[in-house]
Chain A
Amino acid sequence: MLPEAVAHNHGGHHPMLAHHFDSLEEQNVASTLGMWVFLVTEVLFFGGLFMAYTLYRMWYPDAFALSSNELDIRWGAFNTAVLIGSSLTMALAVHAAQTGERSKLVTFLILTMVLGTVFLGVKGIEYADKFEHHHVPGLNFHFEPVSEMAHAQIFFSLYFVMTGLHAIHMIVGLGIMTWMLVWSMNGTITKEYASPIEISGLYWHFVDIVWIFLFPLLYLLGRTLPAVTH
């Protein structure tokens, strides 16, 4: 951060340039590549859960369809819109950083954080609702019809691990945004040094994309199937 710039005169190069890089451009390219590699690891990380989900959905389509019906599609759709909106504000923040418009940058970062917080709040409401309906595995789980209860338990286990992991990533994202907000407000982010915002934007978009996959898989698939009756 800034103390480095204060501590010694950099002799003309950017205060945020680390000494093992030859130029700020090299540093920016390396950081961006680093974030992309990290996002690939995240794909693999969530991938294991998607794999488990896919397997069990194939094996127990009826139980999964019934369980999907228990999720509130309105909150899910609302949250999807909220996250897509936050990706829009994030992209606008990145643009503002690249054009050196500090006040816009700050505004859009704050908006992104507000939308992210709204998302988490809605998830909290949904989780509380699950708790009331005894749909939390391991905590007197109960499901009707009872014949599907065992497999529904698998659905809800995966639901909590997948959305919980996603929520943790959102919280980390909010932390990163806070840090970027501080840097934006104190002048560390400039037109020449916009890459931290770009890289944070990559992370934020990734977390959004994970939700874009989670929403249809968890809330939508099988919802239109008729319930198992004749």
Chain B
Amino acid sequence: MWSGNPLFPEAASTVASRVDALYIFLVALTLFFVALIAGLVIFFGIKYRRRQPDEIGARIHGGLILEIAWSVIPLIISLGIFAWSADLFFAMSRPPDEAMNIYVVGKQWMWKVQHIDGQREINQLHIPVGRKVKLTMTSEDVIHDFFIPEFRVKADVIPGRYTTIWFEATKPGTYRLFCAEYCGNKHSGMIGEVIVQEPNDFQAWMHGGLSQGSLAAAGEQLFSDLACNTCHRSDTQGRGPALTGVYGSTVALMSGVNATADEAYIRESILTPAAKVVNGFQPIMPTFQGLVTEEQLLQLIEYVKSLKAPGQTAAASHEGAAAPGAAAPAH
């Protein structure tokens, strides 16, 4: 956890060392320029200090060469830093496809973590070392922010939409989790732990404790309880589109545009169905706004994701089938 160094945080993710490298470079750059400027100022201040009360300075207007130099050189340096940081940002913003997905719901003032296979955690996140992990997050109330300093990642957690971050932990251990967007009274109490385990220990943890059934299984139950299956039948006779294989596909809408059926699309279709009506269907689906919680939405989404047409591969799961990320990240 605490690296023992009171002045610098541990680097515990694959991206952390890249962030640190950029940081150290900028620190060095800052020290250089501050030393240069401060040095010149002090030097000139002493060398040219006023010796007589009515002494004046030399008549110097300016110098074009200098102006160009000290505009262009900082510009070039800035562009270099920009390119470096943009490259890093691209890598940090795009969760790899093979990342395992974990859901997070933030609310005042706690983190609710939902693993796909059903494990639930409050203010804790267990993950295996060396695996790419993606968090899909939303808030039940105000804006929060999921921040793991030792991984160098954070993202706002916003009501009404999903945001994501991804990371790959490099060292087993327990790391700090903070809420980093002010959210009211117990904002500084909305903290927790990220527990990174060796794969075996992680499997053991996954199988231990009360399993509540996978999210998809809970979603299937809900799908039936809320009577979704009366319109969304698996044949073509339903008043609503069949959902087999819909996740990840491109859907043609009545308005003429296409939409990608990702988590946000499914969530929107449940809460405001009139927003995107599939081509060839009537806009008769009722809204479930206020009838389902954020967690139930996640269950329904996982259920829909699990509906594969025959021949499609199963979605990536926790169960050790995919090799722990041994290859160096290409990003």
Binding site for B on A (CB under 8 A): 60-63, 145-148, 150-151, 228, 230
B206 at the interface (CB under 8 A from A): no
Closest residue of B by beta carbon distance from A60: B275
Cα distance A145–B289 in the bound complex, in angstroms = 15
Which A residues touch B282, using CB under 8 A?
A: 230
Given contacts A145-B274, A146-B287, A228-B277, 7 further A-B contacts (CB under 8 A): A62-B274, A147-B272, A147-B273, A147-B274, A148-B274, A151-B272, A230-B282
Please give the distance in Å from A216's CB to the nearest CB on chain B.
22
A-B contact pairs, 21 of them (CB 8 A): A60-B275, A61-B255, A62-B274, A63-B274, A145-B274, A146-B287, A147-B272, A147-B273, A147-B274, A147-B283, A147-B286, A147-B287, A148-B274, A150-B272, A150-B289, A151-B272, A151-B275, A228-B274, A228-B277, A228-B283, A230-B282
Best-buried of B255, B272, B274, B286 by chain A (most CB within 10 Å)? B274
Which A residues touch B274, using CB under 8 A?
A: 62-63, 145, 147-148, 228
Closest residue of B by beta carbon distance from A62: B274
Residue-by-residue, is B274-316 near A (CB-CB < 8 Å gives 1, otherwise 0)?
A: 1101000011001101000000000000000000000000000
Q: Can you list the 6 inter-chain pairs with the closest CB atoms, starting with the nearest? A: A147-B274, A147-B287, A228-B283, A148-B274, A147-B273, A62-B274
Which B residues touch A146, using CB under 8 A?
A: 287
How extensive is the interface on chain B, given as a class? 10 to 19
Please give the distance in Å from A140's CB to the nearest CB on chain B.
17
Which B residues touch A147, using CB under 8 A?
A: 272-274, 283, 286-287
Cα distance A163–B286 in the bound complex, in angstroms = 32
Please give the distance in Å from B241's CB to the nearest CB on chain A.
15
Please give the distance in Å from A228's CB to the nearest CB on chain B.
6
Cα distance A63–B283 in the bound complex, in angstroms = 13
Best-buried of A147, A151, A230 by chain B (most CB within 10 Å)? A147
Please give the distance in Å from A150's CB to the nearest CB on chain B.
7
Residue-by-residue, is B19-35 near A (CB-CB < 8 Å gives 1, otherwise 0)?
A: 00000000000000000
Which B residues touch A145, using CB under 8 A?
A: 274
Cα distance A147–B273 in the bound complex, in angstroms = 8
Cα distance A230–B272 in the bound complex, in angstroms = 19
Cα distance A213–B274 in the bound complex, in angstroms = 28
Please give the distance in Å from A144's CB to the nearest CB on chain B.
12
The A-contacting residues of B in range 234-283, CB under 8 angstroms, are 255, 272-275, 277, 282-283
Please give the distance in Å from B291's CB to the nearest CB on chain A.
13
Cα distance A195–B273 in the bound complex, in angstroms = 57
Cα distance A150–B272 in the bound complex, in angstroms = 9
Which B residues touch A150, using CB under 8 A?
A: 272, 289
Which B residues touch A62, using CB under 8 A?
A: 274
Which A residues touch B273, using CB under 8 A?
A: 147
Cα distance A60–B287 in the bound complex, in angstroms = 15
Closest residue of B by beta carbon distance from A148: B274
Which B residues touch A61, using CB under 8 A?
A: 255
Closest residue of B by beta carbon distance from A147: B274
Cα distance A147–B271 in the bound complex, in angstroms = 10
Please give the distance in Å from B278's CB to the nearest CB on chain A.
12
Which B residues touch A151, using CB under 8 A?
A: 272, 275
Which A residues touch B255, using CB under 8 A?
A: 61
Which A residues touch B286, using CB under 8 A?
A: 147
Which B residues touch A228, using CB under 8 A?
A: 274, 277, 283
Please give the distance in Å from B288's CB to the nearest CB on chain A.
11
Cα distance A145–B273 in the bound complex, in angstroms = 12
Cα distance A62–B273 in the bound complex, in angstroms = 12
Cα distance A140–B186 in the bound complex, in angstroms = 33
Which A residues touch B272, using CB under 8 A?
A: 147, 150-151
Closest residue of A by beta carbon distance from B285: A147
Cα distance A150–B289 in the bound complex, in angstroms = 10
Which B residues touch A148, using CB under 8 A?
A: 274
Cα distance A228–B286 in the bound complex, in angstroms = 15
Closest residue of A by beta carbon distance from B277: A228
Which A residues touch B275, using CB under 8 A?
A: 60, 151
Closest residue of A by beta carbon distance from B286: A147
Cα distance A146–B273 in the bound complex, in angstroms = 11
Cα distance A60–B255 in the bound complex, in angstroms = 12
Please give the distance in Å from A203's CB to the nearest CB on chain B.
39
Best-buried of A60, A63, A146, A150 by chain B (most CB within 10 Å)? A150
Cα distance A50–B274 in the bound complex, in angstroms = 24
Cα distance A148–B101 in the bound complex, in angstroms = 33
Cα distance A147–B275 in the bound complex, in angstroms = 9
Please give the distance in Å from A208's CB to the nearest CB on chain B.
35
Residue-by-residue, is B48-77 near A (CB-CB < 8 Å gives 1, otherwise 0)?
A: 000000000000000000000000000000
Which B residues touch A60, using CB under 8 A?
A: 275
